[in-house]
Structure 1
Amino acid sequence: MDEDLYRPGVGLMLLNRKRKVWVGQRLDSTLEAWQMPQGGLDPGEEPLEGALRELEEETGIRADLVEIVARAKESLTYDLPQDLIGKIWSKPWRGQRQVWFLARFLGEDADVDIATPEPEFRAWKWADPIELPALIVPFKKKLYEDIVAAFREWL
């Protein structure tokens, strides 16, 4: 795989006390799709730093309200559909290469605030980990299967 074709990114699977996973429904999608907090890395940013930044930017959940449990052993990738390449990011990346983390949510539901300065989600919920591949947009289904497999022993 030519790594220059994939945008560097991160993601965070956040588990509550009932071992349900936080997912949000994107504002910019007309699909009934839900996703975990994820996004691109800033230049020079370490993956864990980026994952915690994305979590707070997208959900309002502060880093002190999570405990990191694991990091996926390898980076995971997804490819964009051909019609989206060159349209959603400033560079024409083929997809994203992500470092994923698993974390426990130490807070309460009231600590979640998706009305952030640059909101990305219209709704959020806790989902069963096994449901995740069916909840995401179709082109990320394999990615979400890989994430669930990477963290299976903690789910």
Structure 2
Amino acid sequence: MLDREGYRPNVGIILLNARNQVFWGKRLRTHSWQFPQGGIKYGESPEQAMFRELHEEVGLLPEHVQILARTRDWLRYNVPDHFIRKDARGHYKGQKQIWFLLRLMGRDSDMNLRATDHPEFDAWRWNEYWVPLDVVIEFKRDVYQMALTELARYLPRVNHHNRYLRGGMRHHGPRPREEHEMELPPRATLEPPPEQAA
């Protein structure tokens, strides 16, 4: 489903934990990381598409999250020709996205990268809000920057516990980063390009 300008409607999801870190997923069998995202089907609202994609890609249900905000308007990116199927070139330009900022109300253990038979990610981790965009595929970086910037004003205040305890001062250094991996069988064939036209 493309609009008149050749953009496919899509949703992007920034999922926060209680420390305002974001869910960061590693695309299946690649070295690139990204936020959950996916197309809006005919007849779906952006919110309905967001909840469907959240379940398909991360395994979460509506009761596991709270919507904090969404972008005011569509954010667009163009897909380079070599990522577009030949039969769609000239018609399909890229994606236009509504981005949602969600807060995880459930637990890390509620997440399941194998909620469907076609997983998008094979590992995930929590990352600081301003994610390293150099690991995002180049043509999506500007949209990520715009979405993060627009939605940053809605970040909840994080409750910091009193640093001073009876026994002295509590150490508040960075915690080691934990990565959650999903085991998949090896596969000899190459995966299709990450963006395909509808």
TM-score, structure 1 length as denominator?
Answer: 0.89
Aligned pairs, how many?
A: 152
DSSP 3-state at the match of 2:142: helix
Structure-1 residue corresponding to 2:66 = 67
C-alpha RMSD over aligned residues: 2.2
Query: CA offsets per residue over residues 36-57 of structure 1, 9 Å max, x none?
Result: 1111001010000101110100
- Tell me if structure 2 keeps the 8 A contact 1:86–1:92: no
Q: Structure 2 CA distance, aligned partners of 1:84 and 1:132?
A: 23
Deviation at 1:132, TM superposition (A): 4.5
Q: Structure 2 CA distance, aligned partners of 1:92 and 1:84?
A: 13
Greater Rg by CA: 2
Pair 1:50–1:132, CA change in 2 (3 A)? farther
**Where in structure 1 are there 5+ consecutive unaligned residues?**
none
More helix by share: 1
> Which amino acid in structure 1 is aligned with residue 22 of structure 2?
V
Pair 1:127–1:3, CA change in 2 (3 A)? farther
Structure-1 residue corresponding to 2:165 = none
Bigger relative contact order, structure 1 or 2 (CA pairs below 8 A, ≥6 apart): 1
- Tell me if structure 2 keeps the 8 A contact 1:65–1:106: yes
Query: CA offsets per residue over residues 5-30 of structure 1, 9 Å max, x none?
Result: 100111111110010111211115x3
Q: Output aligned runs, 1:1-155, within 5 Å.
A: 3-27=4-28, 30=30, 32-86=31-85, 92-117=91-116, 118-155=118-155
Query: CA offsets per residue over residues 84-106 of structure 1, 9 Å max, x none?
Result: 1236x8x9521100111111100
> Which amino acid in structure 2 is aligned with residue 114 of structure 1?
L
- Tell me if structure 2 keeps the 8 A contact 1:86–1:93: no
DSSP 3-state at the match of 1:44: coil
> Which amino acid in structure 1 is aligned with residue 95 of structure 2?
Q
Deviation at 1:3, TM superposition (A): 4.4
DSSP 3-state at the match of 2:149: helix
- Tell me if structure 2 keeps the 8 A contact 1:132–1:144: no
> Which amino acid in structure 1 is aligned with residue 74 of structure 2?
S
TM-score, structure 2 length as denominator?
Answer: 0.71
> Which amino acid in structure 1 is aligned with residue 32 of structure 2?
A
Percent identical = 39
> Which amino acid in structure 2 is aligned with residue 7 of structure 1?
R
- Tell me if structure 2 keeps the 8 A contact 1:34–1:136: yes
Deviation at 1:78, TM superposition (A): 1.0
DSSP 3-state at the match of 1:115: coil
Deviation at 1:133, TM superposition (A): 2.3
**Where in structure 2 are there 5+ consecutive unaligned residues?**
156-198
